[in-house]
Amino acid sequence: MNEKIDLLIKNLKRRTFLPHYCENSQQAVQKVLELIPETASVGIGGSMTLKDMDIPNILQNRGNNVFSAGFTKNMTNEEIYKNAAFSDVYMTSVNAITTDGELINIDGRGNRVAAILYGPPVVIAVVGINKLVDNQCDAISRVRNIASPQNCIRLNKNTPCSITGKCHYCYPPQTICRSTVITHFPSSGKKFHIIIINEKIGY
């Protein structure tokens, strides 16, 4: 564990998050299974980190009821978003996290940040080391110039960043960067676990 991760964990605890350190994604999967009861319903926000770890399949195969767009069958996306927002546990990643322990997310629809802020009583964010930055300015730059362009490509969005790979601060209807949310502390009464993985995963 390096000094930046040590500092991050210290500051997350100070902010009343519940941090967990894992050396790799395999350890992180085991930590997820420890934290989520087999009987819990689980909402999953759009996350390549969780997809790369095969979390939706792993949870569903052991008996959890999983609500995740692109995974859950026989429901519209809107139905999935609503069920996810009122599940027992909500899982996501973050677009960026600062060494001071703040989470930065930029959303298009807003279902993910809404569930993080006012949704299930337990939130679990799984975060690769590639998302760790020094401050809020670096975090927003990372989202706009790394995460958002890749998400636009994945979602087949006709945005300038999907072509150039850099943010052009575009306007609707193209933009997916509609809300920027900085989470300084967990919302009142919420258990907010953050699993930090010492490897690059997701974007």
What's the number of CA atoms in the CB half-sphere (13 Å) around residue 191?
10
Strand partners, 191: 122
**The residue to which tokens 């362009």 are assigned:** 149
The closest of 55, 53, 54, 141 to 96, measured between CA atoms, is 141
Sign of CA dihedral 45, 69, 122, 186: positive
**What is the dotted CATH code of the domain comprising 3-197?**
3.40.50.10420
**How confident is the model over 105-126, as a mean pLDDT?**
95
14 pLDDT band, cuts 50/70/90, is very high
For 147-190, write each residue's pLDDT tens digit. 999 999 998 999 999 999 999 999 999 899 999 999 999 999 99
Q: Round to whole Å and give the CA distance between 148 and 179.
A: 12
The closest of 174, 141, 179 to 155, measured between CA atoms, is 174
Q: Is pLDDT at 1 greater than 80 in this prediction?
A: no
For 59-94, write each residue's pLDDT tens digit. 999 999 999 998 999 999 999 999 999 999 999 999
* Mean pLDDT, the chain, whole residue set: 95
H helical segments located in the chain: 3-14, 25-35, 48-52, 55-61, 77-85, 111-117, 136-142, 148-154, 160-164
Q: Round to whole Å and give the CA distance between 101 and 109.
A: 25
**The residue to which tokens 């960067």 are assigned:** 177
For 16-63, write each residue's pLDDT tens digit. 999 999 999 999 999 999 999 999 999 999 899 999 999 999 999 999
Strand partners, 194: 19, 125
Q: Round to whole Å and give the CA distance between 90 and 202.
A: 18
Q: Round to whole Å and give the CA distance between 32 and 202.
A: 17
- pTM value is 0.94
pLDDT at 155: 87
